[in-house]
Amino acid sequence: MKAIRNAVLGGLAAVFVAGAGTAETLTEALVTAYENSNLLDKNRATLRATDEDVAQAVSLLRPVLNFVASASDTDVSAYQGSLSLTAGLTLYEGGRNRLGVEAAKENVLATRAALVTVEQDVLFDAVSAYMDMRAEAQSVRLAENSLRLTREELRAAEDRFEVGEVTRTDVSLAESRVAEARSRLVAAQGALEVARARYFLAIGAYPANLQAPPPAPEIPATLEAAKALANQNHPAIKQVQHLVKAAEINVERARAAKLPRVELGASLSRNRSVAQGTTSYGDVARGELSVTVPIYQGGRLDSAQRQAMANAESVRAELLQTSLTIEDAVARAWAQLEVARASITARQQQIRAAELAFEGVREEAKLGARTTLDVLDAEQELLTARNDLVQARRDEYVAVYALLSAMGLLTTDHLGLQVAGYDPSAYYNAVRNAPVHSIQGKRLDRVLERSGRN
């Protein structure tokens, strides 16, 4: 059973790095990850909920109409009932409600920017999972080759022991290295299974034949140019910029709460009274204009204004910190890319030297000039160098996408992915004027249905 399992895993490793047949490309994996992402669905729903804040803010600018029915009795022979239609409209409140609409719009734009950040995270996780899958599959193949070579060295040691060229110690060393190679293979196979599970989590499907990735996207020529692009494009910066505007508007709203409030009210009532067997009816129409001037609210309004000012100051500081954080992410991705590229060059040189050393040591061992341990050590050094090269190539490719993400460019539009894009304005345009369930509401239902599918 164990042999069958190892054979299956080895076969999977070969399939995952194949480049023919029904191979899966990185572009296809990115499209699948985008279309299957529950995280994107969650944040799209969050955006639609934020869109409704605009509708609710708009509703405060409109009249309010209510139907009221009441009934009461005072004793067994007296009864009163009334039906009323009441209407109210705020004529003036210092502009607080209109400012509320503007603040809600800024929050919508901030949430849209947050959705782009989530999109970047989804695509970056997909790239990482794809490259991890390929790297782990290649590690399995290297471990299989290492096990094959150590078994050959064990057989050679046993043959030389039979003719008295080496001691029993050399055979034991070779047996130890075979066990170690088998252990490395099992560990590599386990890492491959973990990478496969992570691939499913990131992309929403298990990997098929994974092709070699295409050339990495272009990046700026200098670190400073990359930082400049990040400050212009990164959605996290745009998000906080809109939050700053919303906070500043909320300061104005807090000030407007201290201004007078003028309201117009009207009602139409029909009353029915029953007393001592006599029934009477009466219709009453009433209109009123009221002016409310805040004089003393226990310090609540002043506290609300101070709170709004403190919140605005906090978000401004957050904007500065976000810019620094983004620049730091760009610098770290840039450094990781340079390290990976330097490592690739060094590992390639190391592999060339290790291959020559391994072949030389093995030939010398046949002549009795080297021990079995020397051969096994040379083989181990070559395997380590090859594994390091696989990891360095993976790190280089992922670092490019990390840099794109840090610059705010890891999006479906920038990558040119052919996906059914989500239009964040569709739902907003349907609800921004606070429609009720009417003909306009039926149109809203269709938008809701489309949004649910996307």
Work out the mean pLDDT of the chain and round it to a whole number: 87
Q: What string of DSSP letters covers 223-255? A: HHHHHHHHHHH-HHHHHHHHHHHHHHHHHHHHH
Q: What string of DSSP letters covers 316-361? A: HHHHHHHHHHHHHHHHHHHHHHHHHHHHHHHHHHHHHHHHHHHHHH
State the average pLDDT over residues 85-103: 93
426 or 370: whose pLDDT is higher?
A: 426
Q: Are 234 and 316 in contact (CB under 8 A)?
A: no
Q: Are 398 and 135 in contact (CB under 8 A)?
A: no
Residue 9 — very low, low, confident or very high, per pLDDT cuts 50/70/90?
A: very low
Statement: residue 8 has pLDDT above 90: no
Tell me if residue 84 falls in helix, strand or coil: strand
Q: What string of DSSP letters covers 18-35? A: --SSSEEPHHHHHHHHHH
What domains appear along the chain, each with residue ranges and CATH number?
Answer: 2-422 (1.20.1600.10)
pLDDT of residue 73: 75
Q: How many C-beta neighbours within 10 Å does residue 318 have?
A: 16
Of the ranges 64-73, 99-108, 253-262, 398-407, which one carries the lowest mean pLDDT score? 64-73
Q: What percent of the chain has pLDDT over 90?
A: 60
Which strands sit side by side in the sheet containing 261-275, from one edge to the other? 64-75, 78-92, 261-275, 278-292
Of 419, 410, 418, nearest to 127 by C-alpha is 410
- Residue 283 main-chain phi, psi, to 5 deg: -110, 135
Q: How many C-beta neighbours within 10 Å does residue 166 have?
A: 21
Residue 196 — very low, low, confident or very high, per pLDDT cuts 50/70/90?
A: very high
Pairing of strands 78-92, 209-210: unpaired
CA distances from 18 to 15, 23, 126, 212 (A): 5, 7, 19, 8
Q: Are 431 and 101 in contact (CB under 8 A)?
A: no
Of the ranges 96-100, 175-179, 276-280, 283-287, which one carries the lowest mean pLDDT score? 276-280
pLDDT of residue 381: 85
Q: Are 46 and 111 in contact (CB under 8 A)?
A: yes
- Residue 83 main-chain phi, psi, to 5 deg: -120, 130
Residue 317 — very low, low, confident or very high, per pLDDT cuts 50/70/90?
A: very high
- Please report where in the chains the tokens 């309201």 appear, as a residue: 263
pLDDT of residue 449: 62
Q: What are the pLDDT digits (tens) for 111-160?
A: 999 999 999 999 999 999 999 999 999 999 988 988 888 888 788 888 87
The amino acid sitting at 384 is T
The amino acid sitting at 380 is Q
Distance CA 27, CA 215 (A): 11
371 or 384: whose pLDDT is higher?
A: 384
The amino acid sitting at 2 is K
pTM: 0.84
Residue 374 — very low, low, confident or very high, per pLDDT cuts 50/70/90?
A: confident
Residue 189 — very low, low, confident or very high, per pLDDT cuts 50/70/90?
A: very high
pLDDT of residue 76: 62
